[in-house]
Every structure is written in C-alpha cells, then in structure tokens.
Amino acid sequence: MQYSRKLSSSPKSQAGFTIVELLIATLVFSMVLLVVTIGVMTFTKSYYKGITQSNTQNTARSVIENITQAIQFSGDAVTSPIGTVGSGSSVGFCIGNQRYSYQTGWQLVDGTPQIALKQTKHELVVDTPGNCSGLNAQDVTKTPSGTELLSPNMRVAKLSVAQVGTSGMYKVDLRVLYGDADLLYSPSGDAAGAAAPDAKCRAAFSGSQFCAESELSSIVGKRIE
C-alpha cells in the first residue's frame, strides 16, 4: 500500500508598521506632547503671575490701610515730608507719633543686599518715636527700628501723603512694584530704570510671571481732632 502525503504551505500573514508609518506616528505623538507641554507651561506661568499680582496687591492695600487708619485716628496733623538722612535717598512723613521712613526704587531682599542693584534689607518702615518734632526719617539702608511694611522682592515706586484743601482731608498715593531689576524698565526712558518712579514690568519677557505692579490711591479724613 502506498501512502501519499500532501504538503501544503500557508505562509503566515505578518502585519506591521512601515518606516513611513512609524515616522508619521512619532510626528503626531511629538506634536501632541508639544501642545500639552505648552499648555502646562502657560497654565503654570499664569498661576504664578496671579499669585505674584495678588500678593503685591494685598501688600499695597495693607500699607494704604495702615497709613489711612493712622490719619483717621490721630489728632495731630500729618507732617510730610520730614527731613531726609544720609545721601538724601531716605525720606518720610509723620502721622501723630508714627513715623514712616522709606526709600523709593530700592528692592527689599532677605539675603545680603547688592548696592549696585539697589537692594536693601529695609524699604518702608514705620516706628513710634513718641514725638516726631525735629526728627529726620530713619536711614532704611541701615538697621532702622520699627516694622517693615513690604514683603521681599518689593519696592516703593511712589508714596505721598498730601492734604486736600483745608477740610482735614488727605490723599494717599502709593505704587508698589514686585520683581528684580531686569524685569522692570522705565517707559519714559529714565536712566534710573527699575528705580524710576514710572518703572513697570516688561511685557512678554522671560520671568515676567514674577513681576507685578500695584497702584492705589485713597482720600481719607480725620475722625479725631
């Protein structure tokens, strides 16, 4: 008896990606990853910008409230300005027995201040010497007594207290900036740059999320004569 064996070959179907398909898939994945990365970076920048702006606004509001309350509940007149000290950069004013000493344009820092960058360990200080008569403002570049009203990385761009008419009303103007010197510029081209009264944040600048401005104004009257 003769047996015959029939051999049949059925090649397996081998499915896979071609090099072109892999390249296209990699490109699509890279684009999706890039969009997600940009979205995360934008969200993070906006988050830190909001925190910086909020902290600056809150600090400026706290300073305004401190000054206006002193005006409201002090029976004495506001003496503004009082004498300067040192090189003439520290100025101030008195409200009753409270003396406010400050230096415009200098950045408050926690660490060792760099004079060349206009940094200082104190920027806006309030103390109670008891009687302001004949006193100068404290030199805030040294070690003044009292309480610091600003937070680190902030600076006073403008601060003034002026009487409005003769009715015992006063106007308080305050402008506070947050950020390093390289994040600020003077729109008017003032050579002082970040220390100029009109200094403001650079728009669309690397690190601009760590720069903020807050300008407040208040008119207040004395409640105690």
Q: What is the pLDDT of residue 12?
A: 52
**Which residue matches tokens 């490109």?**
27
Whether the per-residue pLDDT at 130 is higher than 90: the answer is no
Q: What is the pLDDT of residue 182?
A: 92
Domain boundaries, the chain: 36-221
Query: Which residues have CB under 8 Å from 168's CB, separation 6+?
Result: 221, 222, 225
Question: If you average pLDDT over every residue of the chain, what do you get?
Answer: 85
Pairing, β 107-108 against β 98-102: unpaired
Is residue 113 within 8 Å of 103, Cβ to Cβ?
no
| Percent of the residues in the chain that have a pLDDT greater than 70, as a whole number | 86
Whether the per-residue pLDDT at 21 is higher than 60: the answer is yes
What is the per-residue pLDDT across 73-84, written as a single tens digit (0 to 9) for each? 876 667 766 766
Rounded Cα–Cα distance for residues 56 and 48 (Å): 12
Ranges assigned E (strand) in the chain: 78-85, 90-95, 98-102, 107-108, 119-120, 124-127, 147-148, 154-164, 169-178, 184-185, 200-201, 212-221
Is residue 56 within 8 Å of 178, Cβ to Cβ?
yes
Segment 27-33 mean pLDDT: 88
Flag the least confident range among 17-26, 93-102, 147-156, 174-183: 17-26
Q: Choose between 88 and 80: higher pLDDT.
A: 80
Task: Give residue 1's pLDDT band: very low, low, confident or very high (50, 70, 90).
Answer: low
Segment 181-206 mean pLDDT: 89
How many CA atoms, within 13 angstroms, populate the side-chain half-sphere of residue 145? Answer: 6
Query: Which residues have CB under 8 Å from 215's CB, separation 6+?
Result: 60, 158, 173, 174, 175, 176
